[in-house]
Structure 1
Amino acid sequence: MATISYGQEPKLKKQDSTQRAQDSIKKADFLKNIGNGFLPFNYFNADLRYLIKFNQYEGIRTGLGGETNDKFSKRFRINSYIVYGFRDKNLKYKIGGGFRINETTSTWINLAYTDDLQETGSSNFLTDKRFFTFFEPRLLNIDLFHRHITKSISAEHKFTKNLVSELQLAVSKIDPTYQYNFVLDDNSFQNYDLSIAKLSLQWSPFDTYRKGKNDVIETKEGYPKFTLQLTQGFKSVFGSDFNFSKLDFRTVHQFNHINESFTNITLVAGIAGGETPITHLYHAYPNNIRKETILQRFSVAGLNSFETMYFNEFFSDKFSTLQLKHTFRRFKITERFRPQLVLISRYALGDMNSIDRHEGISFNTLNNLYSESGFEINKLLLGFGLSFAYRYGGYHLPNLEDNIAFKFTFNISI
């Protein structure tokens, strides 16, 4: 009679279990990278943000970019990209990298040389986490860009897990792609040089973390969050033309309700003083194109933009916006068809001193309260939905149709 031994079976089961756990970790890491906009390779992660985009100035914008990962080095990194615009027929690129000087405080020194376009009136926080979406809704209709050639050095530092900072020193050559003159005393500037220092702080006091195998992992995102950024332009430093200051602030709070619905409140404010050209002032995140009918203006709704505010309609040297969103629990019509209703109200207020300094471009100010309200019905089909917004209050327009924005939305999660 043959003898059958089961002596090795527990070991095989243990090996199988370990292999499954490793495969699960690899799959989770892969999905995390894809969700952040990276396609991981052995020593290099391709950046999906640069594959293809579209805007009114460049037309189709396509290229390649990426950054080295921990397999390449945990102390050094390289991040660069190169893109081409088919309408403006110009290459844009960035060459950058960094080195870590302290692992505990995640302190990095970064260097970069960038030759690219930036939307006029846009304002970003250095400490913002990387944000990726398959396409950027507002970008499709933006036509007001300025070219910048920027050399920068920056330092990232975590004071605590909940308080992160970044300091950046940069020199830039600014060249608006549109007709614009910045008039200062008896001088008129069509292009100019800037030397700028920025300090950004982000405080998330209610986020919670746990110690992972190689790093600290966020386990719960808490609210409220606060971000503060100081900007100072220095005249005559490295040939800079202007002296100006900016202060930007943002706070986000979210109330989670027991029925799986939640309410989100976002307050953003900024003030600029001194000799600030329009390239470095503020718009209020408009997302409406100037066409005659509602259907001609049908496009993609943004995530945090004013859907009834027309592009280049308002600029400010001081402004504040308040956005209120209430997201209901998804309606379970069938197992697969589960749309979601979101109620939205947005408000903006601002002002502009020395408007006569800005020649060649016409715009309004936000001295009165700008108001719009509406709703979204998301995830109707393959991540697509519909949105409706109505403009009222101090900037209500005489023609009823001009106050209405009807668009589709796109929301997808990985």
Structure 2
Amino acid sequence: MRFTTYLNNIEINPDLDDKLFDEVQRAMRPAAIRQTNETFKSFRTDTLAAWEQKMYTNFKKPNSLISRLDSTYGHILASLFSNLFEIGPIELQPGDFLNGNSIEGPRLGMGLQNNQSLKPRFRLYGSAGYGLRDARWKYKVLGSWHITKDRFNKLSAYVQNSITQPGTTEFLGPNFLIEPETSLPFSTSKDSLPIQADYFRKYGVSLHFKPFAWSWFRIAVNREQRTPNYAYTYEGRNAFEITELVLDWSFAFKENLYRTGRMESIVNRFFPIINVQVSKGLPTLGSEFDYWRIAVQIYYQIRTKRMGFSNIKVVSGFINGDLPYPYLFGSLGSSGLVNVAGLNSSGFPLATFRTLPTNDFIADRYAALYFSHDFSQTLFRFRSKYTQPRLLLYNNVLAGALRQSEKHQFSWEFRTNQLHAEAGLEIRDLLRIPIKGVFIGTGVGVAYQYLPSPKSDWQYNAQAYWLGISLSR
């Protein structure tokens, strides 16, 4: 076996453009896989041997449906999953064209921003959409000035009018070019409780900064008006207004960001990964509530030789002061039967309770433990690239409490015994299709609730579900 490398037109100590460097450890531009023969000939100083020409011909032989999909529609699918179409200086986000959930039904709209692949010192983003079921417009406008080229240090101003789930916490995530948006599900895993949502209008300013390696901070001042779309009142009111100061901290030791075209993925080889969020109500700036709200999550991973790896996540929250239901802790149950996840996401696996209805848990102090073991491909390894089943076992436990519940008037029953535990298994990558260097995969799972005491009807305690569509490398 012989390897030969030819280097021509060497330039020593060239002037480097600092726009070439950001936090990405490895990047492959969209055009990297669409080179012409003339391009390769310019780098090839010798002709191909007959056996080499045959190898290239066989490798690219379009004799299967997958090959035709890859060559014809691969770039379209890659743009859809990365949520980005580049049109000159403008980037369109397909996720804003057609969205939807149980409240809005289909949401038709458009979202665009200036081309971030050109690495400008600013970002201008705007989107608008109309829900066909609730007959309401939603919009978001954001402007950011990138103090440094890597976008870790930036000053932003924003205004948003949209819909969200009550009781959620949005931690500071990785520094993606396209920030993933949270969305409401189309249906719950149990029919006993409908999906709930709050309409909100928020505006504010934020400062992101990175004073040292592996840590990222955000300070924000937000003013928000929120109105539940469900029957609920807090001390006789059903609309709320807050002004708050928020501090977010994200710590991920030696976190790596990879980019394929415009699809970005995070690779973490070192743990723990820590997120902390502290919020303070500001009555002096018009907030109706004076409070402290603290939320923490810690993610750790243990790798076992020839047995896969275990994921451990601990999440906790505490509120000092009075807050209405939309700002408490909840929505920890299953987020629906349909899920589409691209590479531009950093969610912890199984950070949800499959046997718990979405709004069945309400607390102003809580703690949850998520544990799962992924056997990866240690148990099954098939020769086919279209199926590589991965068995994953998990066990989740949740406990919490709500003080001064008499101030809340709920139109539904929630658990007074705030203790829930379940176990289950998933089979991932049961079917997967390779397209443009990544895999589109899906699988199935089943969960069983063992706390509180299971009911006699075992079908009530069990939940089977589809894993949706996800991207992986």
TM-score scaled to structure 1, two decimals? 0.81
Structure 2: state its 5+ residue gaps.
Answer: 1-5, 10-26, 34-74, 189-193, 259-264, 341-348, 433-440
Q: Distance in 1 between matches of 2:148 and 2:322?
A: 38
Q: Displacement of 1:55 after TM fit?
A: 1.6
Partner in structure 2 of residue 196 of structure 1: 244
Q: Distance in 1 between matches of 2:149 and 2:7?
A: 40
Q: Displacement of 1:173 after TM fit?
A: 1.1
Deviations 1:305-329 (A, max 9, x none): 1110012211111111111111113
Secondary structure of 1:222's aligned partner:
coil
After TM superposition, the structure 1 = structure 2 runs for residues 50-61 of structure 1, keeping only pairs within 5 Å, are 50-61=96-107
Q: Displacement of 1:386 after TM fit?
A: 1.2
Q: Distance in 1 between matches of 2:100 and 2:196?
A: 14
Q: Displacement of 1:398 after TM fit?
A: 4.2
Q: Displacement of 1:67 after TM fit?
A: 2.6
Partner in structure 2 of residue 83 of structure 1: 129
Q: Distance in 1 between matches of 2:276 and 2:187?
A: 29
Partner in structure 1 of residue 255 of structure 2: 207
| Contact residue 172 and residue 250 of structure 2 kept, 8 A | no
The farther-off stretch of 261-270 and 66-75 is 66-75
Deviations 1:284-334 (A, max 9, x none): 521177xxxxxxxx7669842111001221111111111111111322233
Q: Distance in 2 between matches of 1:136 and 1:195?
A: 23
Asked if 1:304 corresponds to 2:351, the answer is yes
Partner in structure 2 of residue 350 of structure 1: 400
Structure that is richer in strand per residue: 1
The farther-off stretch of 36-45 and 317-326 is 36-45
Partner in structure 1 of residue 276 of structure 2: 228
Task: Name which of 333, 338, 351 aligns with 2:382.
Answer: 333
Partner in structure 1 of residue 345 of structure 2: none
Q: Displacement of 1:33 after TM fit?
A: 7.4
Q: Displacement of 1:199 after TM fit?
A: 0.3
The farther-off stretch of 347-356 and 97-106 is 97-106
Provide closer, same or farther for how the CA distance between residues 391 and 24 of structure 1 changes in structure 2, counting only shifts above 3 A: closer
Partner in structure 1 of residue 455 of structure 2: 397
| Contact residue 184 and residue 335 of structure 2 kept, 8 A | no
Partner in structure 1 of residue 58 of structure 2: none
Task: Name which of 250, 255, 259 aligns with 2:302.
Answer: 255
Secondary structure of 2:363's aligned partner:
coil
Secondary structure of 1:49's aligned partner:
helix
Deviations 1:43-74 (A, max 9, x none): 23222332333321111223221332346662
| Contact residue 369 and residue 395 of structure 1 kept, 8 A | no
Residue type at the aligned position of 1:413: S
User: Identity, % of aligned pairs?
Assistant: 20
| Contact residue 150 and residue 173 of structure 1 kept, 8 A | yes
Provide closer, same or farther for how the CA distance between residues 44 and 205 of structure 1 changes in structure 2, counting only shifts above 3 A: same
| Contact residue 398 and residue 419 of structure 2 kept, 8 A | yes
Q: Distance in 1 between matches of 2:151 and 2:92?
A: 27
The farther-off stretch of 130-139 and 314-323 is 130-139
| Contact residue 316 and residue 366 of structure 1 kept, 8 A | no
| Contact residue 244 and residue 272 of structure 1 kept, 8 A | yes
Deviations 1:1-33 (A, max 9, x none): xxxxxxxx9979xxxxxxxxxx96444698997
Structure 1: state its 5+ residue gaps.
Answer: 1-8, 13-22, 211-216, 290-297
Partner in structure 2 of residue 4 of structure 1: none
Residue type at the aligned position of 2:466: F
Provide closer, same or farther for how the CA distance between residues 28 and 270 of structure 1 changes in structure 2, counting only shifts above 3 A: farther
Task: Name which of 220, 223, 231 aligns with 1:171.
Answer: 223
Asked if 1:283 corresponds to 2:330, the answer is yes
| Contact residue 316 and residue 366 of structure 2 kept, 8 A | yes
Secondary structure of 1:305's aligned partner:
coil
Partner in structure 2 of residue 19 of structure 1: none
Secondary structure of 1:388's aligned partner:
strand
After TM superposition, the structure 1 = structure 2 runs for residues 35-114 of structure 1, keeping only pairs within 5 Å, are 36-70=82-116, 74-103=120-149, 106-114=152-160
Q: Output the aligned Cα RMSD.
A: 3.5
| Contact residue 51 and residue 64 of structure 1 kept, 8 A | yes
Q: Distance in 2 between matches of 1:323 and 1:28?
A: 40
TM-score scaled to structure 2, two decimals? 0.71
Q: Distance in 2 between matches of 1:390 and 1:396?
A: 9
| Contact residue 127 and residue 202 of structure 1 kept, 8 A | yes
Specify which structure has the bigger relative contact order, considering alpha-carbon pairs within 8 angstroms and separated by 6 or more residues: 2
| Contact residue 207 and residue 221 of structure 1 kept, 8 A | yes
Task: Name which of 403, 427, 432 aligns with 1:377.
Answer: 427
Partner in structure 1 of residue 363 of structure 2: 316
Deviations 1:350-372 (A, max 9, x none): 00001111113334347453110
